[in-house]
Amino acid sequence: MLVNRGKRPLLLLAGEVVSGGKQDRIIGKDRIVPVGAEPLPLDVFCVEHGRWTGASDQFSDAKTMVHPTVRDKAAFDQNQSEVWATVGGGIASGVGTANQSVTVTAEAPEIATSRAAAPTQSYQKIYSAPKVESSIEDFTRELQRRFDRAVSGQKDERTIGVVVAYGDEVVWSDVFASADLFETYWPKLLRSYVVEALTRPRSSDKASLVDARDFLRPMTGHIREESEPGVYLWREETRGRFAEIQIEALEPKPVTLHWVRVVHAS
């Protein structure tokens, strides 16, 4: 159950990690929590398979977003077993990733090292084990450096989203209503993309800007909607392997706060 005691509506995105209680959990579905509303039941999934004892009676934002494969299972499949199965889904021997013209590769560690340090299969502990975390942080810093360089030439424009590719396969995008909102989420999103890269085979192929534009083209598919009147509209659209979710704030005027599109793994 969640109560928003703040002064502004609260945006929650599927895949954000919440620590505390008897297990670490992730938000299961995008939603907006209005100020001063009655306690709301919160959709969550466990990302710590082997613990059911109270580490703390308080919950807090872990400042972490699970990597896209886990986010996909939570946000679209809504399946706890598949979330557990992908939490420690194997670190590959190398990586390749592209964001528009930003490309970087790095060697990756073995996941077995981090599993030994995380007997409860905690997402947080698996990916913060020293050998794994050092590779993640080195890779993240390098991607951030290249990202900063790529956007430094913008004049009156600001970045509001990214398209993510691994090798030559474009698989993910996160787009926000404003640059300020994007910048709030960017540090943990970037790290989540890096963790995803470490679970994939290494590739020297690179996606192009044309591939990214093709990925963002409007699609027509099966639509499912959920709404809380006067607060938000949640909208999912699927077509084949493609799926997207939009969360739209309805007050003070309708605006899409976040839009995510994915290609489900075959």
Q: What is the pLDDT of residues 109-137, one digit of tens each?
A: 333 334 444 444 456 666 665 556 677 88
Listed in sequence order, the DSSP H helices in 50-175 are: 68-72, 80-87, 111-116, 123-126, 130-151
Q: Average the pLDDT over 141-163 and give the result.
A: 89
Total number of domains in the chain:
1
Q: What is the pLDDT of residues 27-69, one digit of tens each?
A: 888 999 998 878 888 788 776 655 545 555 555 555 678 888 8
Percent of the chain with pLDDT over 90: 32
* Dist CA 192 CA 5 (whole Å): 28
- Whether 4 is in a domain gets the answer no
- Whether 69 is in a domain gets the answer yes
Q: For residue 134, count other CB atoms closer than 10 A to its CB.
A: 11
What is the DSSP-derived secondary structure letter of residue 54? -
What is the extent of the structural domain holding 121?
A: 10-263
- Whether 1 is in a domain gets the answer no
Place of tokens 């919950």: 59
- Whether 31 is in a domain gets the answer yes
- Whether 3 is in a domain gets the answer no
- Whether 223 is in a domain gets the answer yes
Pairing of strands 169-176, 161-166: antiparallel
